[in-house]
Structure 1
Amino acid sequence: MNHGSVGLPHMAMISSLGTHLDEVWQHWAYGEQDHYLSSWASALNPERDWLTGQVRASLPAIGPEYQRLASRCTAMLEHCIQQLLDPIEALIEQYGRDRMAVIIGSSTSGISQGEQAWRHQQQHPDFPPGYHYDQQALSSPAHYIQQRLRLSGPCYTLSTACSSSGKAFATAQRLILNGIVDVALVGGADELCDLTTQGFHALASVSDHPCQPFGAEREGINIGEGAALFVMTKTQAEVNLQGVGESSDAHHMSAPDPSGAGALEAMHQALKIAALSPSELGYVNLHGTGTPLNDAMESLAFRTLFAEHTSSVCCSATKRLTGHTLGASGALELALCWLLLKTDYNREGIIPPMRGDYALDEMLQPLPLVWQTARVLSTPTILSNSFAFGGSNVAVCIGRHD
């Protein structure tokens, strides 16, 4: 095992797939693939039926002492905190509150609170009672967790669009390996809001139908929301973070480099840090947005990575289930990978299939997709990709310690 790996002993998540880990696993592995997206109304474009990955469960209330940080984003994180309180409190007792970091990735934070406040202000002389700018500040997700748990270690939110929460794992790992902290609470959260739906609509990147990753008629994304929160420790666990690779190709403000060079570099870096070769991977969770340019680029990068290696690696994309949760997507998709490696959930050792009533694009570089039928996870080592605007790329490698 790589001497620089850190433990990921605990995780909680919430998304359109469910609110608790058993439910999420059952829905991913055995559910109906098109069942988890639902209609959402945008105040700025109410005529359009937005198909999104919504959290439809009731969320916990934010306590009165934290109201200046209250948002849908922090409520989803509160849901995760409540599932992790016992191990977090044990680690506070063991290491102290000053030895615990909070690193969160987000692209929207609580901006929907700002949107509601703006609409109120257009009809009234002032913002609504209870509104505070901190609710929509990008710093609010991390600050909420820190204040809620009364921690005093490093605390910040990363916002690099769709690579945000993947990059949070690199930051948290460095803090631990450099002895700055002993524990990190790391993950991502993003909520549905008008800003992102209208922004992606302006880019002609939103699909009216369930997205079709690597499909012949793919036309764009379905935006989603959710949160995932991991406990990261300096001690090893059943599942460990082995390496994170980052690159910045700066090809274009919103389009990926068609050569896939930046994506490939991030994957190479993750494997180098983890001291692994591509042939030692069992599964790759692809960014797989269902947009024409991203899927073409990622297919090319994947085939280049494995060109010289004989491997039984499989790959798939999961955004048809959750929607594209933007800044939270790296953490949410790593959470699904974590479940793959946890024998308490994945007792059969399978990789759930991608399902859909669409044809795959034969013009793309061929991929070993887990398509329609589950496959066996051959090796308990996984890579998860997240690629963002501006050429910000990240790949995260985790593995099970058998």
Structure 2
Amino acid sequence: MIMGNNMTTAHPAVGIQLSVGLSALGNTAEQTKQALTTQQNTLSFVSGFIPEKQVWVGAYPHALIEKVPEFLNDVDSRNLRFALTALRSIEAEVRAYTAQFDPKRLAVILGTSTSGIADNEKLLKQYFVNQADIEIQHYKQEMGSLAKGLQMYLGWEGPAYTISTACSSSAKAMAAGQRLLNADLADAVLVGGVDTLCQLTLNGFDSLESLSNALCQPCGAQRGGINIGEAAGLFLLSKETAPVMLMSAGESMDAWHISAPHPEGKGAAEAMQKALQMAGITSDEIGYLNMHGTATPQNDAMEIKAVQTVFQNYDVPISSTKHKTGHCLGAAGAIEAAICQQVLVDQSWLPLHQAGPIDPELDQANYVLNVQLQQPIEYVMSNSFAFGGSNISLIFGTKLK
């Protein structure tokens, strides 16, 4: 848990007052650092998701809350319980911080791609296979149920909605929260994302032949696809300054292909350039770049091209953390934002890139192979790129321009 302070600023940047991130890395800052700075494996080899097949996944290793309040029964799902488990660790501080504001000025914007579909999968199978007379509660799997559930739980009355743009969802939720604050439509916004492991996504990516049969290797010579993970990342944003600020968000849309990115990384480069422009900084001020880095052949190749376009002669330290978390889909941007925030707070380490051989065509990059941070950094960037070319780059910083 990280807390902010009470100084104010007129800068478009907004302060991260409180935050929490739960994933295969664990549920504490120390567990996160340990996992990302050593070669320990944090993924699990499991069965039950894909018929007659075991797969590597980034499963959250701790227990979730066992039940939700009765008034949330209609939207109860593992997805919501994951969100409430994350919220629980900062709930007292969130309620104390937001008590000063009108409930109508408190907003919730979250990202997800699975919502509560996992809870209905077995029932749907029974229905379609046996044509059984089964009552299926569809509210829990509606995309809007996540944000509405947290709004109801907190008793807030401002805007509450869910963004679902595949793998850019939660990063876009953070950008939307920043816009809401700067438009003076809210005094505080709970943003982030939650996605849980389910058969729908694992079988879907398996049908696309995008799942790796081994631990994924972002930019690796033998990379063969992704490992899917689950995560819950929540951030309370306001216009008050904090030790770490959300400086900017750059967004673009390839519209190149339904699932493949533009091969030259044009949309990815545009998103990064827009983020730099909004933050008012130059590319050589970025001390670390958290790649989208899915370990699919096309994504990694185009992202390195985009990085080379934007950073040119500057060897920005880069790494993908998905070999440790799995690809958390709609929650990927949120958990990777939490990682970036922790890097800025600690000022002592960077996340290791995967240790396997790098693709010779992608080896002209400064991959993080030494975790020790050599000098303090002020800004970090996090990339999230989604199906359909929905691209976003976030910049976090400790210093206002």
Q: What is the CA distance between 1:147 and its match in structure 2?
A: 0.5
Match of residue 33, structure 2, among 13, 20, 25: 25
Structure 1 residues 397 and 148 mapped into 2: Cα distance closer, same or farther (>3 Å)? Answer: same
Contact 1:11 1:335 (8 Å CA) reproduced: yes
- Kindly, what percent of the aligned residue pairs are identical? 39
Amino acid at match of 2:261: P
Cα distance in 1 for residues equivalent to 2:341 and 2:109? 18
Aligned residue in 1 for 2:203 = 198
Please state if 1:15 is matched with 2:13: no
Contact 1:105 1:167 (8 Å CA) reproduced: yes
Amino acid at match of 1:389: F
Cα distance in 1 for residues equivalent to 2:360 and 2:391? 26
Contact 1:72 1:110 (8 Å CA) reproduced: yes
Contact 2:268 2:303 (8 Å CA) reproduced: yes
Aligned residue in 1 for 2:153 = 148
Cα distance in 1 for residues equivalent to 2:182 and 2:378? 23
Contact 2:80 2:149 (8 Å CA) reproduced: yes
Q: What is the CA distance between 1:64 and its match in structure 2?
A: 2.2
Q: Could you give the per-residue CA deviations for residues 41-64 of structure 1, whole angstroms, max 9, x where no partner exists?
A: 245x32111110011211002222
Aligned residue in 2 for 1:333 = 336
Aligned residue in 1 for 2:98 = 92
Cα distance in 2 for residues equivalent to 1:354 and 1:263? 20
Amino acid at match of 2:254: D
Aligned residue in 2 for 1:56 = 61
Cα distance in 2 for residues equivalent to 1:180 and 1:306? 35
Please state if 1:350 is matched with 2:358: no
Structure 1 residues 213 and 164 mapped into 2: Cα distance closer, same or farther (>3 Å)? Answer: same
Match of residue 109, structure 2, among 91, 103, 107: 103
Cα distance in 2 for residues equivalent to 1:398 and 1:56? 28
Aligned residue in 2 for 1:268 = 273
Give the root-mean-square deviation of aligned CA atoms: 1.7
Contact 2:350 2:371 (8 Å CA) reproduced: no
Q: How does 1:224-243 map to 2 (within 5 A)?
A: 224-243=229-248
Structure 1 stretches lacking a partner, 5+ long: none
Structure 2 stretches lacking a partner, 5+ long: 1-8
Contact 1:354 1:372 (8 Å CA) reproduced: no
Contact 2:265 2:302 (8 Å CA) reproduced: yes
Match of residue 286, structure 2, among 281, 284, 302: 281
Aligned residue in 2 for 1:369 = 367
Aligned residue in 2 for 1:384 = 382
Q: Could you give the per-residue CA deviations for residues 275-306 of structure 1, whole angstroms, max 9, x where no partner exists?
A: 11101110000000011000000000001111
Find the residue that maps to 2:90 and give its secondary structure. Answer: helix
Cα distance in 2 for residues equivalent to 1:238 and 1:154? 26
Aligned residue in 2 for 1:211 = 216
Q: What is the CA distance between 1:217 and its match in structure 2?
A: 0.7
Amino acid at match of 1:22: E
Q: Could you give the per-residue CA deviations for residues 42-92 of structure 1, whole angstroms, max 9, x where no partner exists?
A: 45x321111100112110022222111111111111111111112211223
Q: What is the CA distance between 1:124 and its match in structure 2?
A: 6.9
Cα distance in 2 for residues equivalent to 1:377 and 1:125? 63
Aligned residue in 1 for 2:194 = 189
Aligned residue in 1 for 2:52 = 47
Q: What is the CA distance between 1:141 and its match in structure 2?
A: 1.1
Contact 2:147 2:161 (8 Å CA) reproduced: yes
> So what's the TM-score if we normalise by structure 2?
0.93
Q: What is the CA distance between 1:378 and its match in structure 2?
A: 4.3
Cα distance in 1 for residues equivalent to 2:12 and 2:256? 31
Structure 1 residues 354 and 225 mapped into 2: Cα distance closer, same or farther (>3 Å)? Answer: same
Q: Could you give the per-residue CA deviations for residues 14-51 of structure 1, whole angstroms, max 9, x where no partner exists?
A: 1111023332233223x433x211023245x3211111
Contact 1:229 1:331 (8 Å CA) reproduced: yes
Please state if 1:399 is matched with 2:394: no
Contact 1:73 1:141 (8 Å CA) reproduced: yes
Cα distance in 2 for residues equivalent to 1:304 and 1:378? 25
Match of residue 293, structure 1, among 276, 281, 298: 298
Q: What is the CA distance between 1:337 and its match in structure 2?
A: 0.3
Cα distance in 1 for residues equivalent to 2:321 and 2:352? 9
Find the residue that maps to 1:141 and give its secondary structure. Answer: helix
Q: What is the CA distance between 1:372 and its match in structure 2?
A: 5.3
Structure 1 residues 100 and 224 mapped into 2: Cα distance closer, same or farther (>3 Å)? Answer: same
Cα distance in 1 for residues equivalent to 2:145 and 2:122? 17
Match of residue 317, structure 1, among 317, 320, 324: 320
Alignment size in residue pairs:
390
Greater displacement, 15-24 / 240-249: 15-24
Cα distance in 2 for residues equivalent to 1:119 and 1:187? 31
Cα distance in 2 for residues equivalent to 1:260 and 1:314? 19
Contact 2:18 2:94 (8 Å CA) reproduced: no
Cα distance in 1 for residues equivalent to 2:88 and 2:131? 37
Contact 1:187 1:229 (8 Å CA) reproduced: yes
Contact 1:211 1:218 (8 Å CA) reproduced: yes
Aligned residue in 1 for 2:5 = none
Cα distance in 2 for residues equivalent to 1:147 and 1:225? 23
Q: Could you give the per-residue CA deviations for residues 186-228 of structure 1, whole angstroms, max 9, x where no partner exists?
A: 0001111111111111111100111000101100000001110
Match of residue 85, structure 2, among 74, 79, 100: 79
Cα distance in 2 for residues equivalent to 1:269 and 1:333? 19
Amino acid at match of 1:153: G
Contact 2:82 2:194 (8 Å CA) reproduced: yes
Find the residue that maps to 1:206 and give its secondary structure. Answer: coil
Match of residue 161, structure 1, among 166, 170, 183: 166
